Each structure stands twice: as C-alpha cells, then as structure tokens.
Amino acid sequence: MLIHRSLVSTVTQAARTQSLTLVDALPGSGRSTLARQLAAALPGGATVLDGRSAEARKMVSEAIPPSPARAVIMDDADEARAAGVSSALEAWKGGGKACPRFILIGGPFSGDRRPAHLRLEPFTLFEVGRTNIGRLWLRGGFPEAYAARDDEAALAVCARRAADLAYTILRGFGLGLDPDAVFRLMELAAVSSGEAMKVNAAARELGVSRPAVARAVPALADAGIIRLLPSLSPAETGRSLASPAISLRDTGLMHALLGIRGPAELALREKAASASWRACAVEQACAVLPDGLAAGRYRSADGACLDLVIHRLTGARPDPRPVAAAIARPRSGEGPGRGASGAATRLGVPPGSRFLVKPSGPRVETGAGFTIIGLPEFLELVRNLDPGPAGA
C-alpha cells in the first residue's frame, strides 16, 4: 500500500532555500518511503544514501562535495551525522564551492541552530482518504499497522511498537527513566487521555521521583508520542490555569496499550472509545491547523469541557479571542454535554463556530448552539480558518 505523504511538498519547498533540511522520523514511521517519494519529487532528482553507510561517512568526514545539481537524502541519519553535514557545508561555503542540498531523515535532531526542521507524523485522514476514518481511528497512522491484513493484526503491530518504543527507540530522547517505567508511563498516558497527568500519582505508580516524571512527560511530547494540549482560561486564552491535557497521539498505540484487540471490544468500552475518538479528532485537526493558529482545551469548574479550542496568535502569544471550538463524540445521539454552550460563551467562542464532531454524517444544528459535523468536513473547515494578519 503506497500512500503519498503530504510532507513531501513541505520538504521540497524547504530544500529550495535551505542547504540542510532535517526530518525527525521514528523507526517504523515510513521514513524510507518518504526518502523515495522525495527523490522522485525533487527537481533534478536526488541521491539516496543510508546515513550510516561508508559512503555517507566518507562524504562528510573528508568533505567531498556531491554534485550541487542533485540533492543528497540520508536515511536513518542521527544528530552526529547532522553535525558533520553542517560542518562540511560551512567548509564548502568558505571554500567558495557551490553548496549541495542535504535532507537528513531520522534523528532525534537538535533544532537549535537549523531553521528547516520538520517531523514525519503518522498518516492523516487527508492522506488515507475520508472513507477510511474508522480504519485510521482504530489502527492509528503508523504505516505497518494501518496496512496490516486485518484489525487484530494491526493492533498486534501497535502492541509491538509500544514495546519497541519503551525498550529501544526512545532511549536517545532523554526520558531519564528505565524502559519498564517508560512503558508504564505510556500506559498511564493512554488511561489518562484527555485529562491532566497527575504527576505525583504517576511518580508513586512508577516508583520514581516527581521531578523524574515532570521531565519525562515533555520528553515524550518532544518525541511525538504524546500531545500536551494547553488548558485555557476564560479570562485570557493564552494563560494556563491548570496542567495540560495529555493524550497518545496515535490511537492505534493507545488502543494497544489499553489492551483493545479489535473494533467489537472498542465498541464495548465506551469510556475508552470516547477518549480515543477525542484524541483522534484533536490530532487530525492539529495536523491541518494553519500557521498563525494554535490549539488548546477548556474545562470549567462545573465539569463542562471543550475538547479543542482554536485561537489566533498575536506574535508569539495566543490571542484571547478563540475562532472555533469543538467537542468530539464517537456515537450518534450524543449531545454536547452539560454546560458546553455556557463554557463556549464564557470563553468567547463566536456563535456559528462551535462544533460537535462525529466520525461522519450531515451537518445538523443543535439546540445547545453547536453544529454537529463529520470529521472530514470539520477538518476542511479547520484547514481554511483565517489566521489573520501575520503577527496581528
């Protein structure tokens, strides 16, 4: 199954102006496929190398410049290779030679000194097609799981991936926990999806210190495993009065960590289904959010919750006036819930911009001031939101 990655166009645009483009991509995220698609899309073509190969090492260590007409794509590259390429580029520039373009896929890379630093994410709904909502929700977006022969096999792939992440892949991300604790922390994130992580309780559960958990959680976010969605206040959208909501970014991984083995079991576990659909809707919306817009969530003292609040940015700060809000519900017949309309009013979400997101279905107005909308239509709406003037 070959699915064209939307990141290809972003990387090719970056490579037009940058001599070095970095793409963070975890093993199993389809980075070799991305390398092939990039080679086919880049003007002038590209040379694809294994970042660990003797040829790649020699090119960098001996500062042997490749042809400037063809980009060099290094798959499975790491931070050391990125530093070497960066030094070689400086040497070539200093010697007056035409600089080639390098695209390094792998990581984790440090982004401190490099403007073109991107991430390869799991599949989005726009990549797999709107008719595949159920499959993407259940299996998640990692290629091997999404393309598995059936749902049970897909979730078995996700279970193996969870173990690989904890015991192998995430060791270079500075979590500061042993693999058993990393695995258990991901399980806690799956159980707590949509809620604030209780750091003290997590520390007791893992048998580690509170600071250790406080460091590990953002490290998991930096690795692209979890999302931390800021908690917003009605007084000022940008000011967080509570800890951010935590969720697994890939719902297939979430289902595997919860022990769900197929769609029938997910249907029977109502709380898990609601939490994972909420995570799915939020993740897909964040994937298409235009530059200049940011996402958060809101929960009032009386329990009313807005799963996603989208607002503009004023420079680097959130604008206190939200442009849209959404609540995600996986089943027909479920309404916005107690106090949701009042919460949207307190937060300042304009009428007509409050949505109840289902997997699919026609647009329907509710008596609570929300519009029921299918996920594909909601994503189109989000993608076309106006971020306003730059830095407004």
CB 248 within 8 A of CB 278: no
* Other CB atoms within 10 A of residue 323 CB: 19
Return d(Cα 140, Cα 154) in angstroms, integer.
9
The per-residue pLDDT for 111 is: 65
Tokens of 257: 């960590």
Burial class (CB in 10 A: 0-12, 13-18, 19+), 6: middle
Tokens of 7: 């990141």
Tokens of 95: 């010697």
Which three-class secondary structure state does DSSP give residue 375?
A: helix
- For 7-119, give the CATH class: alpha beta
Ranges of residues in the chain whose predicted pLDDT is under 50: 236-240, 390-392
Strand order in the sheet with 245-248: 195-196, 245-248, 226-229
* Residue boundaries of the structural domains of the chain: 7-119, 125-383
Return d(Cα 322, Cα 324) in angstroms, integer.
6
Residue 212 φ/ψ region, left for φ over 0, alpha for ψ in the -120 to 50 degree band, beta for the rest: alpha
Return d(Cα 364, Cα 356) in angstroms, integer.
9
Structural element, H or E, at residue 172: none
The per-residue pLDDT for 61 is: 80
pTM of this structure: 0.91
Closest CA to 255 of 120, 152, 168, 150: 152
